Amino acid sequence: MRALFVFLQPKETVTMLEMKWIRAHAEEVQAAADGKKIKINIRTLLDRDEERRALLQESEEGRRLRNTLSADIGRLMQAGNREQEKVLRAQVKQINEQLEQVEARLAPVQEEVTKLQWLVPNIVSPDTPNGLSDADNVELRRVGEVPTFEYNTKDHVELGELHDLIDIPRGVKIGGTRSYVLKGAGLLLHRAVQQLALDLLLKHGFTPMEVPLMVREDALVNTGFFPTGRDQVYELEGENKWLVGTSEVPLVSYYADEIVDVQEPVRLAAVSTCFRSEVGSGGRDVRGLYRVHQFAKVEQVILCAPDAEESERMLQEITGHAEELLQLLELPYRVVAVCTGDMSQKTYKQYDIETWMPSRGAYGETHSSSNLHDFQARRSNIRCLDAEGKLVYCHTLNNTAVASPRILIPLLENHQQEDGSIHIPAALRPYMGGAESLILPEQDEVK
């Protein structure tokens, strides 16, 4: 990795969107919050911030006056002027009492301002479509032909049971709902798609990393997953640690409180197990492997200069990597522009890639690409030097190179054959012992 960095002292104050900027763009920020369904009143934030600043000014003025009087008291003591010294000491006592009152009023106001600041969303790009949900996402392109079958097909659960690849009942017995077991060739496919994705990213100059999956709260706050996504994350009670739902969190946090050299974009990749509670998804996608609590993901993260054109190029690049993988897997897919109502607090611009899943008769989300501009970097205090040598916040981006076992759904379903066998794409065969297909036990016996 060529990136140079300098350690900084951790930030003492919140560095989300600057209050001055929010004040000048209040309507735009409120529109972003409304579009993303984040319950915050920007006017309330600005009013509380004015109150906070007034109290801070009052406190600072009191301290300045107290310091001046204290210096005067010292001179009076040297001069032996006890009467005047007594008068000034009484004034200092009164100022201290007033300061206590001001600080008692300031503490709850500061707490409210900070709480509201953490809820302020990133604004969205001008070309982000408006909408209420994923139903309003806008299709940009389709790649690959959706297969037509002249025979009765099976879904991935049936195929997994037929080939002894997937055991959901025993997974549920062990781990409860939304659990599963992959076995035999099922596990090999699970590992193969991950290694193919990692090898692809290595070819494109990414640095592979093994990262902590148990992280401290500030890592989730600073990367924009808290406070709005707290209900999706598993907490390790009493540890002040959480299990990550994506290695984006530790990859971005790797550079927290540092100055990074981004003359060339910093490209990072991690293969990790991920955990999500799926709160709010009750009754949705309950069959099979689409929505599970534990899964594996190959994540790509980029840090680059805070230039809108450059980070847009990086967004196209990482999206292209995910598309390249799907083409290697010989799967039909489409790319959609994600609308405001389907975006998270942190996202400036987002694409989703949806892969055709025959059992659903529709495309299902398998990948997501996001450009966050400097939203995460501000919260994480990740800075770089601009052309004039001034410290500025970097832009960050992320993309799912592949997530499994969800990708196994289209992989098994699209490649099933009339005789019950499953075609293995050529790109996966080196990771599957050279096998060209998964065949049923009775077919193996015949051969």
Catalytic sites, residue numbers: 276, 291, 365, 368, 406
Residues with Cβ within 8 Å of residue 152, at least 6 apart in sequence? none
Instruction: Map residue 208 onto helix, strand or coil.
Output: strand
d(C-alpha 360, C-alpha 388), whole Å:
54
Inter-residue contact 391 to 259 (CB < 8 Å): yes
d(C-alpha 197, C-alpha 328), whole Å:
10
Inter-residue contact 285 to 359 (CB < 8 Å): no
- Cα-to-chain-centroid distance, residue 112: 25
Question: Which 8-state DSSP code applies to residue 121?
Answer: P
Beta bridge partners of 5: 260
- Burial pattern 214-245, b for ≥16 Cβ within 10 A else e, equals ebeeebbbbbbbbebbeebbbeeeeeebbbbb
Query: What is the β-pairing status of strands 349-357 and 333-337?
Result: antiparallel
Distances, alpha carbon 1 to alpha carbons 157, 252, 272, 366, 376, in Å = 42, 15, 20, 29, 21
d(C-alpha 136, C-alpha 408), whole Å:
26
Strand order of the β-sheet with 266-275 is 138-143, 333-337, 349-357, 362-371, 395-404, 294-304, 266-275, 207-209
d(C-alpha 291, C-alpha 289), whole Å:
6
Which residue matches tokens 């494109």?
Answer: 204
